[in-house]
């Protein structure tokens, strides 16, 4: 009864990751914040692959909600285990830094950085006792290179890249790997305001990526072939930055 918990999984990259991990035989816990309709669609698609699909609605940045759902689920389901965690929930609130409101600064940091901490600490605690687990953090090109108009987002993703490397060193001896995937431009709701025709020339592969192309790299980091890969950041960006 192995489960994969994917945060921010109602839509976009998270949804594609759920479907790919379901193909690998994992039962899936689908976290999302508000979009019940899209979350149910993801749940139906996962179930159609013959595995369990649980909806878990909570805001990753709200510690009490995370405790009530993630910690409780782990405590109440001793016969099951979350052996894969994909920290994918994220938002953008872009502006040049002098115009970023304190609310928009904190919202981005709260979801990406605090959310990572609140969710991961419960799941890794349980992985440590089982001496097995895979953690994959979805970061961004913005966290590697820094992008103007995204100091809040770049800072949050950069923090998770550093946390990935630190945590990987803490838990490696217990058979747990921790890696990050850094997408470039991927076609989801998050980038619906960025016109591919205007920006694709910046990308050596001359196109935006598909969510499934990110999910494929997550599948590698979760699967057997990456058993000796930890503390790494793998870019999925069509050659935009290396």
Residue ranges in contact with ligand NAP by CB under 6 A = 7-14, 31-35, 38, 59-61, 88-91, 111, 138, 140, 183, 185-186, 188-191
The answer to whether residue 118 is catalytic is: no
Of 55 and 128, the one with the shorter C-beta distance to ligand NAP is 55
Q: How far is the CB of 85 from ligand NAP (least distance, A)?
A: 13
DSSP state of 232: -
- The beta strands (E) that lie in 92-157 are given as 133-138
Q: Which of 199, 173, 176 lies closest to 186, judged by CA?
A: 199
**Among residues 3, 153, 228, 241, which one is catalytic?**
153
Of 35 and 77, the one with the shorter C-beta distance to ligand NAP is 35
Q: Are 184 and 138 in contact (CB under 8 A)?
A: no
Of 3 and 32, the one with the shorter C-beta distance to ligand NAP is 32
CA 119, 120, 121 angle in degrees (round to 5)?
95
- The beta strands (E) that lie in the chain are given as 2-6, 27-32, 53-57, 81-87, 133-138, 176-183, 233-236
Q: How far is the CB of 50 from ligand NAP (least distance, A)?
A: 23
Of 79 and 198, the one with the shorter C-beta distance to ligand NAP is 198
- C-alpha to C-alpha distance for 127 and 118, rounded to whole angstroms: 15
Residues annotated as catalytic are: 153
């Amino acid at each position: 009864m192995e489960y994969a918990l994917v945060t921010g999984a109602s839509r976009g990259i998270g949804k594609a990751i759920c479907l790919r991990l379901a193909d690998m035989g994992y039962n899936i816990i689908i976290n999302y914040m508000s979009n019940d309709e899209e979350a149910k669609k993801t749940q139906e698609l996962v179930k159609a692959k013959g595995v369990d699909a649980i909806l878990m609605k909570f805001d990753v940045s709200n510690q009490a909600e995370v405790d009530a759902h993630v910690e409780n689920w782990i405590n109440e389901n001793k016969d099951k285990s979350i052996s894969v965690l994909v920290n994918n929930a994220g938002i953008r609130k872009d502006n040049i830094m002098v115009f970023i409101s304190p609310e928009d600064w904190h919202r981005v940091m709260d979801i990406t950085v605090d959310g990572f901490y609140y969710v991961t600490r419960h799941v890794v605690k349980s992985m440590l006792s089982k001496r097995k687990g895979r953690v994959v953090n979805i970061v961004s090109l913005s966290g590697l290179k820094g992008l103007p108009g995204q100091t809040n987002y770049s800072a949050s993703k950069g923090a998770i890249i550093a946390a990935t490397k630190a945590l990987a060193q803490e838990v490696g001896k217990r058979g747990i790997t921790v890696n990050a995937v850094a997408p470039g431009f991927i076609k989801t709701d998050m980038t619906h305001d960025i016109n591919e025709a205007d920006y694709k020339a910046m990308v050596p592969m001359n196109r935006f990526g598909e969510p499934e192309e990110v999910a494929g790299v997550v599948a590698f980091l979760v699967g057997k072939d990456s058993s000796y890969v930890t503390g790494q950041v793998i870019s999925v960006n069509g050659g935009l930055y290396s």
